[in-house]
Structure 1
């Protein structure tokens, strides 16, 4: 009986200390990717609105960090700078920026799908192990 209770304790520890932690990490990474997808979607929508209005000048608010906003005036909206990766910014025309945002969203969606698959696999492992523990405790 002690062997079974020791095994149950070890499995429970593994579930709680490893599998659940890995699950939370996978879900957190997926949420970060979804936030990036949302940001690129907002960027594409804002650029489309800018194109529709045909405005060559723009007044906006810019977040300098920690929700500290300042007013900014953009005298020429012909080009836009987009952060592409690792802090690098690229100058795009508006159509190029939309195309980049669309491609980046597709790429990020694939990454989000992978994190979702990992999370689902971890959930399945947790479920199987919990069922096994219930059977062990009933035996």
Structure 2
């Protein structure tokens, strides 16, 4: 269903797309927060090397040995990974999460706006249907 007079499309797929993008942002935030937790664990336990499992995709894991935990590689976006100290990574994650939370809030606001417009159009249709019945 579309509002023809304004030229703006108020279809449910637009709402679904906004919610999916927002959920993707929240998933990325979750991944960064997991990394922050791992960094804190390394610091708290004074780990200089680490044996772990790495997810290669589709829940397929491989054992990994990290000989030096003083530096890690962090996904900074657009497929780039940057080597950082733990302190640099911590700082980067804090800033990245703040930025991504603002982005998620923007998508939430847009989804709410779409919901309101859909509700308004449905209300107008119901009112028009009641007027034609009389």
Q: How many residue pairs align between the two structures?
A: 126
Deviation string for 1:10-46 (max 9, x for gaps)? xxx327x852110000000000000001111111111
Q: Runs ≥4 in structure 1, deviation > 4 angstroms?
A: none
Higher RCO, 1 vs 2 (CA within 8 Å, ≥6 residues apart): 1
**Aligned position for 1:63:** 55
**Aligned position for 2:97:** 105
| In 2: Cα distance, 1:83 partner to 1:71 partner | 21
Partner secondary structure for residue 128 of structure 2: helix
TM-score normalised per structure 2? 0.90
**Aligned position for 1:132:** 124
Question: Is residue 6 of structure 2 the alignment partner of residue 14 of structure 1?
Answer: no
| In 2: Cα distance, 1:18 partner to 1:123 partner | 9
**Aligned position for 2:83:** 91
**Aligned position for 1:39:** 31
Cα RMSD of the aligned pairs, angstroms, is 1.2
Deviation string for 1:78-103 (max 9, x for gaps)? 10000101111101000110111111
Consecutive unaligned residues of structure 1, counting only runs of 5 or more, are 1-12
- Larger fraction in helix: 1
Deviation string for 1:96-130 (max 9, x for gaps)? 10111111000000000000010000000000111
TM-score normalised per structure 1? 0.87
